[in-house]
Amino acid sequence: MSDLLNYIILGIPFGCVFALVAVGLVLTYKTSGVFNLAFGAQAFVSAAVFYNTVTNHDWPLLPAFIVSVLIVAPLVGLILDRALYRYLRTAPAIAKLVTSIGLLIAIPEIVKLLPDFDFLQSSVFNPPTIWPNPFAYYHFGDYVLDGNQVATLISTGVAVLLLSVLFRYTTIGLQMRAVVESPRMTELAGINADRVSAFSWMLSSTFAGLAGVLLAPLFAQLAAPNFTILLIAAIAAAAFGRLTSIPLAFVGGILLGVAQGILGGYLPADSILANGLRPSLPFVVLFLLLLFWPGLRQRREIVDPLSGVDPPPPGLSAEQRMRLLTYTTWGLGIVVIAVGLYVALFVVSSFWLLIITKAVIFSLIFLSITVITGMAGQISLCQASFAAVGSFGTAQLAQRFDLPVLLTMVIGAAMAAIVGALLAVPALRLGGIFLALATLAFALMFESIFVPLDWVSGGVLPTKVPRPTFLESDRTFLLFALALLTVVAIGVILIRKGTTGRYLDALRGSETAATAIGINPARARVVAFALSAGIAGLGGGLLAIQENQANYSANFQVLLGLLWLVIVVTIGARTVEGAVQAGLAIAFVPEILKTLGLSPSYQFILFGLGAVTYAKHPEGILEFNKRKSLETVQRWLTRGKEPPGAEGGEVVPARPEPATIAAANPGGNR
Amino acid sequence: MSLLESTEVCKRFSGITALDAVSVTVEPGEPVALIGPNGAGKTTFFNCLLGILRADRGRVTFNGRDITRLPVYKRARLGFGRTFQRVELFTGMTVRDHLLVAERSRLGTGRLWKDILNLAGPSAEERQRANHTLDLLGLLNVADEPIESLSLGRARLVELGRALMTEPLLLLLDEPSSGLDQSETMELVGTLQTVQRERGTAILLVEHDVEMVQAFASRLYVLDFGVIIASGPTGEVMDDEAVRKAYLGELV
């Protein structure tokens, strides 16, 4: 009995950190509609500043704490709001989520490039604690807590107390709640939404900073991914508070910490359960909460009731193109591909041949994002896991049953498709950011539970995959990969133009209207999910064959999967060219940076900050520029002629006046 | 047998009774209207009929079949067509595409393998049916325009056309006149009458515009605070002193 109590008490300080992060997440979500996945990166900034001042410059603890948590952290929040989120306030929640994923990738790399912070380039060990005596232990009756745990308890208590006072007794607290309901309406009521939003960003960023400084000593090493993974774990606590209730999120955080403490205490030390279940508990909880917590499921994401006054997004430029231009583009495309292929096969060195092959394989994987994000309009953060399923399937079946590798690649893709469909069936009741979070939880569950298992990944060493004899030359392999890419790309284009694509278009345009003409939304999306997972699995299998091994940690980690998404949506998720160009980018940009002698950090900064454009141009910068240049060329070609299809009457957006929207659709359930 | 029959449908939202034992019937081919002041529960009732909300108690039958627990898209396949108060169109599609998608959904022949083999293009018959409906609604000259370039009146006609392509037995129209001026409204009434006459489609209209209701519906239900307070032939209900005074005010 006293054992149990002991584990509970040991879990509470950890739960406090979860609670702090969860409260901060709910705070930004409530006040700016941003589900801020970059929270971990913000925490990392404060932890890095604290480390730098204390360990490298021997500052006393108090000024270091003040600078890192009370000055730098709010400043980061202020910068994010002023430079970025202020312009996104009326953007859809999903666009804001993508933006925050971009920041999650970019911010730590930016910090590493700062003048005094190059120590982060190599591994940094033993982060300092904020408690004056790091080796002290304190006895409370029969229970023992260390200094950092005591510091965590005290600072969490103070922070939460201050926050509740702020919300309950101040005007700004009330205004913060109004702004998120509808920034435009709040401004009509004479409140400066800008100021309120800046304040709430500074506040939540302070929470991130505090959590970062408290968390750092719990890891042996100061590294950004630790913070990000822990932050995602804390989403489970936020989900417990239905993403909107601060007190519930706080309770959820404490419960999560306690549950982990109990599991840690009772599970046998070196068992699979202890190694797999304990670290993955938050992701399992998050996944189950998202799927089965009724309060969350029925909750629609926060949408501005006035968002309907914005003009709808334009269609694909390819659909408005003149026929002559279409043929010209196709002709040019074939010439470019032919020249590229000639150069790849006969001109460049074998090193660049491999890079080009990598680009082709990643183009294939990225087509899966074209299907799920570009066509079905859903953000999936577990495409890398699907690719990993394909890769493991290819490797394991080939090794254990001695089947031909090309056959196991196809079976691996089918397995990925089945996993995708099984995930989609429960997850698709969720929409928008909840689906994105569920896929993220799934990816982390997969990573922490299944990947370590022998029968999945082959254990510590990646499983070997033999290449079929006719593909042993790298040149034939490139041709094979290119052929596979072409087949899948044509398939994707045909599906986009066919019934399935039309249904998905309709569902994206208006789900209510699509169901009202008899389209089954769940079925259409399960098909899209399975298709997308299958394509990712095929690409993963191909990658395994090319590399002769199914290498999870090098290719399919969750954070790499986030990078994939960010690259594809930045360049263009709607089109096949977008996927291909994203494939070229992920293969070539690191090599180009290396050739130029620049730090690899730049690629993460480039792609991460690129994702920021998603909110402005959800179709991708590629598609955006294509439309603009197309308009220019067509204007130039049709100079002096009648403008095609100009209707005499006035042009009214497809949605009526705002008053009707607000009245007819409270909550804007889209 | 009535086409649509709702029996004592009740719906409560956390303590507020939005619908209290609402019973409505619609006969095949009949134009019926449901009126009532704002907040009377018209839209809630509509959503219960369509399956967007689930009634707490009561039954809805359609063509003799109990559909109380059926999801929205299955009701649509049984023969429900609807339009929206706030126009809901598919952005990025042309007018013709809207109709063709609805037609394909009615036929239910869309299969993934057909897409991949490039057999998913609209057949001659599908095109012809779409053209027929476009012609009926006077939309032929804008058939290949993107939906974003249409005026609100036209956009409502596209919604109507999309609903008609599914060959509904019953059309549910949610305040089709909102946002239209008087001449546009009367044009819409004309079109609806043609549809009802030519295709024998029953129409249930939820409306504010009393003039439109009088011009169109043969029977009327008046809903207030979740209760049907009057029903009968349009003329009689309109002349009812209580209805006039309490719910139509000085409008008439």
Give the model confidence (pLDDT) of A136-172 as tens digits.
777 777 777 777 788 888 888 888 888 888 877 888 8
Instruction: Specify the pLDDT at position A459.
Output: 67
Across A24-28, A367-371, A508-512, B147-151, the highest mean pLDDT is recorded for: A367-371
Instruction: Specify the pLDDT at position A649.
Output: 40
Instruction: Specify the pLDDT at position A273.
Output: 57
Q: How far apart are CA B185 and CA B211, in angstroms?
A: 9
- Number of residues that make up chain B: 252
Report the gap between the CA of B147 and the closest CA in chain A (Å): 7
pTM of the complete model: 0.86
By Cβ distance, the residue of A313, A516, A649 closest to B82 is A516
Largest CA distance in chain A: 90
Instruction: Specify the pLDDT at position A365.
Output: 96
Instruction: Specify the pLDDT at position A655.
Output: 40
Say yes or no to pLDDT of A302 above 70: no
Domains defined along chain B, listed by start: 4-79+168-248 (3.40.50.300)
Using only the alpha carbons of chain A, give its radius of gyration.
26
Best residue of A517, A531, A627, A657 to probe chain B, by most B CBs closer than 10 Å? A517
- Encoding tokens for residue A387? 């690719």
**What string of DSSP letters covers B145-187?**
SBGGGS-HHHHHHHHHHHHHHT--SEEEEESTTTT--HHHHHH
Q: What is the arithmetic mean of pLDDT over A528-534? A: 95
The residue extents of the domains of chain A are 2-270, 370-556, 560-638
Task: Write down the mean pLDDT value for chain A.
Answer: 81
B73–A521 C-beta distance less than 8 A: yes
Say yes or no to pLDDT of A646 above 60: no
pLDDT in tens, A48-97: 999 888 888 888 888 888 888 889 999 999 998 888 888 887 777 778 88
What are the respective helix, strand and coil percentages of chain A, to the nearest 5? 75, 0, 20
Instruction: Specify the pLDDT at position A390.
Output: 94
- Encoding tokens for residue A670? 């889209």
Q: B150 has which bridge partners?
A: none
Q: Phi/psi of residue A452, each to 5°? A: -70, -15
Across A38-42, A145-149, B184-188, the highest mean pLDDT is recorded for: A38-42
Say yes or no to pLDDT of A181 above 70: no
Least confident of A46-55, A213-222, A485-494: A213-222
How many CB pairs (< 8 A) connect A and B?
A: 161
Confidence band for A294, pLDDT divided at 50, 70 and 90: low
Instruction: Specify the pLDDT at position A320.
Output: 62
pLDDT in tens, A604-625: 888 888 887 777 776 677 777 7
Location of structure tokens 């009756």 = A141
Q: B220 has which bridge partners?
A: B33, B232
By Cβ distance, the residue of B71, B73, B91 closest to A313 is B91
Say yes or no to pLDDT of A494 above 80: yes
Least confident of A459-463, A554-558, A576-580, B1-5: A459-463
Q: Which of A565, A592, A560, A563 is nearest to A578 (CA)?
A: A565
- Number of residues that make up chain A: 670
Q: A463 has which bridge partners?
A: A550
Residues B171, B172, B177, B182: is their CA dihedral positive or negative? positive
Report the gap between the CA of A103 and the closest CA in chain B (Å): 30
Burial A521-540 (b: 16+ CB within 10 A, else e): beebbbbbbbbbbbbbbbbb
Q: What is the arithmetic mean of pLDDT over A108-119? A: 85
- Encoding tokens for residue A10? 């040991």
Report the gap between the CA of A462 and the closest CA in chain B (Å): 35
Say yes or no to pLDDT of A491 above 90: yes
With respect to CATH, is domain A2-270 assigned 1.25.40?
no
Say yes or no to pLDDT of A448 above 80: yes
Say yes or no to pLDDT of A480 above 90: yes
> From the centroid of its chain, how far is CA A454?
28
H or E element in which residue A501 lies? helix A499-509
Confidence band for A653, pLDDT divided at 50, 70 and 90: very low
Q: What is the arithmetic mean of pLDDT over A421-440? A: 84
Position with higher pLDDT, A182 vs B113 = B113
Instruction: Specify the pLDDT at position A318.
Output: 60
Residue of A nearest to B99 (CA): A517
Q: Which residues of B touch A319 (CB under 8 A)?
A: 92
Q: Which residues of A touch B88 (CB under 8 A)?
A: 510, 512-513, 516
Confidence band for A307, pLDDT divided at 50, 70 and 90: very low
- Encoding tokens for residue A529? 């999910």
pLDDT in tens, A453-471: 877 877 667 778 888 888 8
Which percentage of chain A shows pLDDT scores above 90? 20
- Torsion, Cα A254 A198 A40 A211, to 10 degrees, reads -40
Which residues, 6+ apart, have CB-to-CB distance to B244 below 8 Å? B238, B252
Q: Which residues of B touch A520 (CB under 8 A)?
A: 73
Instruction: Specify the pLDDT at position A305.
Output: 47
Instruction: Specify the pLDDT at position A569.
Output: 86
Say yes or no to pLDDT of A660 above 70: no
Burial A62-71 (b: 16+ CB within 10 A, else e): eebbebbbeb
Instruction: Specify the pLDDT at position A670.
Output: 33
Contacts with B, A 506-535, CB within 8 Å: 506, 508-510, 512-521, 527, 531
Instruction: Specify the pLDDT at position A537.
Output: 96
Residue of A nearest to B119 (CA): A498
H or E element in which residue A548 lies? none
Report the gap between the CA of A534 and the closest CA in chain B (Å): 14
Confidence band for A662, pLDDT divided at 50, 70 and 90: very low
Q: Which residues of B touch A513 (CB under 8 A)?
A: 84, 88-90, 159, 162
A521–B101 C-beta distance less than 8 A: no
Instruction: Specify the pLDDT at position A667.
Output: 35
Say yes or no to pLDDT of A658 above 50: no
Say yes or no to pLDDT of A371 above 90: yes
Based on the number of CB atoms within 10 Å of its own CB, is A341 exposed (0-12), middle (13-18) or buried (19 or more)? middle
Q: What is the arithmetic mean of pLDDT over A462-482? A: 85
Q: Is there a contact between A45 and A222 (Cβ–Cβ < 8 Å)?
A: no
Which residues, 6+ apart, have CB-to-CB distance to B84 below 8 Å? A512, A513, B159, B174
Say yes or no to pLDDT of B252 above 60: no
Q: What is the arithmetic mean of pLDDT over A594-601? A: 85
H or E element in which residue A431 lies? none
Q: How far apart are CA A440 and CA A173, in angstroms?
A: 31
Position with higher pLDDT, A657 vs A579 = A579
Say yes or no to pLDDT of B221 above 60: yes
By Cβ distance, the residue of A312, A498, A512 closest to B148 is A312
Q: What is the arithmetic mean of pLDDT over A340-347? A: 80
CA distances from A116 to A64, A112, A151, A260, B172 (A): 15, 9, 28, 37, 68
Residue of A nearest to B98 (CA): A506
Say yes or no to pLDDT of B65 above 80: yes
Say yes or no to pLDDT of B137 above 70: yes
Report the gap between the CA of A439 and the closest CA in chain B (Å): 24
Pairing of strands A463-464, A549-550: antiparallel
CB under 8 Å, gap of 24 or more: what pairs does A128-136 form?
A: A128/A50, A128/A51, A128/A54, A128/A55, A128/A61, A128/A216, A128/A217, A129/A216, A129/A217, A130/A50, A130/A61, A130/A65, A130/A155, A130/A213, A130/A214, A132/A61, A134/A217
CB under 8 Å, gap of 24 or more: what pairs does B226-230 form?
A: B226/B11, B226/B17, B226/B18, B226/B19, B226/B20, B226/B22, B226/B40, B226/B41, B226/B44, B227/B20, B227/B21, B227/B22, B228/B22, B228/B23, B228/B24
* Neighbour tally for A268: CB within 10 Å: 8
Q: Which residues of B touch A315 (CB under 8 A)?
A: 91-93, 146
